[in-house]
Structure 1
Amino acid sequence: MTITYEWRGDFEDMAVNALHAEGFGHRSLDIGWRAQVHRHSLGWVCAWRDSELVGFVNVAWDGGVHAFILDTVVSTGLRHSGIGAGLIAEAARGARAAQCEWLHVDFEDDLRTFYVDACGFKPTPAGLIALRA
């Protein structure tokens, strides 16, 4: 299986919506991903198997030295094959090339092995305020 990764790759909203719904277990929403990432993100990474979008990660930023991983998703049938780690590695390269000094990610406990062990993030204390009860 050959997977290619593309920093700021071109994609169709429908493909990311379907992948996001599959990966996060919700119905497919009609989100305008292309407009959203072009307007607000440092970049994003698409993972392709042939012409099929099989992975995606959004890299938000503060306009300075901090980049943030959001919405990491891999097609459920291809999880645990290294695609997610490949997405994060390409995201780190893109953020580094943009002169970012830090790449942040928040994750739930069940994803600790992925982000810390497979991707090399270092655990840090963090805080969170739930804005919707």
Structure 2
Amino acid sequence: MTIQLVPRFPVDDRELSGLHARAFGSDPAAVRPWAARLERHALTWIGAFDGDRLVGFIQVCWDGGAHAFLLDTAVDPDQQRRGIGIMLVTAAVDESRAAGCEWLHVDFEPHLEHFYLEQGGFRSTPAGLIAL
């Protein structure tokens, strides 16, 4: 397996929607307008490719200043536990730092604590959340 990370790759909405659906168990028929959203809101996004196949994705949104936010970290279920997720997170950290951001935030579910805190280098902080 040779994985290539590609920042700001040309997004195919159907391909990225399919990856997202497989990774998160959502409706595989739903196609989201990823390309337009990313161009409008993201500092960067990174795709992990095995040849021509998109097998991982992460996006970094930001406030235009010091704060950036990891969103939608996704690895195709048949490619998980091979280090692709950590490669994506590390690349997102590097891209955020290079853009001059001072903080990179991430929210995660409890079962991902090991991934983000121990492997990803994040530290635990209090946070708040409102479901809308």
- Whether 2:72 is the aligned partner of 1:76: answer no
Structure 1 residue matching 2:72: 3-state secondary structure: strand
Matches within 5 A, 1:37-116: 37-116=38-117
State the alpha-carbon separation in 2 of the partners of residues 51 and 69 from structure 1: 24
1:47-91, CA deviations, whole angstroms, 9 ceiling, x for partnerless residues? 000000000011110111100000100000111110000001111
State the alpha-carbon separation in 2 of the partners of residues 80 and 52 from structure 1: 17
Other-structure match for 2:6: 6
AA matched with 2:13? D
Question: Greater shift after overlay, 2-11 or 83-92?
Answer: 2-11
AA matched with 1:25? G
Other-structure match for 2:128: 127
Q: Percent identity?
A: 48
State the alpha-carbon separation in 2 of the partners of residues 11 and 114 from structure 1: 26
Aligned residues: CA RMSD: 0.8
**Please, which runs of 5 or more residues in structure 1 have no aligned partner?**
none
Q: Give the length in aligned residue pairs.
A: 131
State the alpha-carbon separation in 1 of the partners of residues 128 and 36 from structure 2: 29
TM-score (structure 2 length as normaliser): 0.96
Other-structure match for 1:16: 16
**Please, which runs of 5 or more residues in structure 2 have no aligned partner?**
none
